Amino acid sequence: MTRRRAMSLAVHAGGGIAVATFALPALGFAIGSAVFERPPVRWEAVGPPDDFPNDTYLPRVITTVPGTGEVGKTTVYVRAYNPDIDGEKDPNIPFADEQGGDFVALSTRCMHLGCPVRFVAASERFICPCHGGVYDFTGKVDGGPPVRPLDRFYVRVRNDQLEIGPRYSVNSEFRRFPSYRDPAQDLDGVGQYLYPGRFSTPKMD
């Protein structure tokens, strides 16, 4: 190696380090909190537990992203657990000792691409206005493009109030995925490995 070559290498390396000094922190700034920051677990009271029947849903509005006005609110459909429809209770569900498994809180986020579904009491189905996704009474896909049942929310009863907690996803066998997935992510078969859980969802414990 000649002295000229060593010097020019040193200058290029210096330039590279100078660029990395501002480019890497800027990139980390843009990606870091978006991908790796866990929001806190939030619980929101929606009324006394006796209010909720087990044969139809009551809509309740909760705040999922505080500080963003109307944008941060979402509708949740809540009813009491009904063994005739829902079958065996999940014994491992969090807050089982605080009636965590006694209620069903369904998200209105369509599992096709995230439009808001509406519960139509007459047909006992959830219907999405965007591309025609249809779900049955338990949130299972009945027709249209959605890839998995409607997301659910953890619930618990405290101070005689039903509280809605973080969202979780389920696959078509109602297996729980605590780090909830975005819509359009199939969680059956190979899908559960193709769509890994994220760092940006609230974590309970």
Partner 1 sequence: MPKLPMPPLPKTLMPRPRRPGQTEEVPPTHQLKEAGISAVDWIDERTSLSGALRWVMFRKVPKGTNWFYTLGSATLFAFLSQAVTGVFLAMYYTPSVTDAYESARHITNEVFLGEFVRGMHKWGSTMMVILIFLHMGRVFFFGAYKYPRELNWIIGFVLLILTFVMALTGYLLPFDQRSYWATIVAANITASGPLVGPFLGDFLRGGAEFGATTLSRFYSIHMLLVPGAIAALIGAHLYLVTKLGTTAPPWAKPEPDEKLVEDQI
CB of 64 to partner 1, least distance (A): 6
Structure tokens at 91: 């014994």
Q: Cα–Cα distance between 127 and 16 in angstroms, integer?
A: 55
Strand pairing report for 44-45 and 161-170: antiparallel
CB of 167 closer than 8 Å to CB of 157: no
CA distance 117 to 173: 21
Contact 141, 159 (CB under 8 A): no
Determine the interface stretch with partner 1 among 12-20, 86-94, 133-141, 196-204 (rule: CB under 8 A).
Answer: 196-204
Letters for 154-193 (x = contact with partner 1 by CB under 8 A, - = none) are: --------------------------xxxxxx--------
Tokens of 148: 């998995």
Should residue 114 be labelled a site residue for partner 1 when binding is judged by CB under 8 A? yes
> Nearer to partner 1 by C-beta: 82 or 201?
201
Minimum Å gap between C-beta 5 and partner 1 is: 30
Shortest distance in whole angstroms from residue 7 CB to partner 1: 30
Piece in contact with partner 1 (CB under 8 A), picked from 47-55, 68-76, 135-143, 168-176:
68-76
Residue 12 CB-density burial (10 A; 0-12 exposed, 13-18 middle, 19+ buried): exposed
Residue number with CB closer to partner 1 (49 or 146): 146
Nearer Cβ to partner 1, position 21 or 68?
A: 68
Tokens for 69, please give them: 């006005």
**Is residue 201 a contact residue for partner 1 (CB under 8 A)?**
yes
User: Containing H/E element for 25?
Assistant: helix 3-36
Q: How many residues does the chain have?
A: 205
Q: For 28, which DSSP code?
A: H
Q: Which of 30, 41, 61, 120 binds partner 1 (CB under 8 A)?
A: 30
Minimum Å gap between C-beta 77 and partner 1 is 19
Minimum Å gap between C-beta 114 and partner 1 is 4
Given a contact cutoff of 8 angstroms between Cβ atoms, the answer to whether 204 and 165 are in contact is yes
Binding residues (CB under 8 A) for partner 1: these are 30-31, 33-35, 37, 39, 64-65, 67-69, 71-72, 113-116, 130, 180-185, 194-196, 198, 200-201
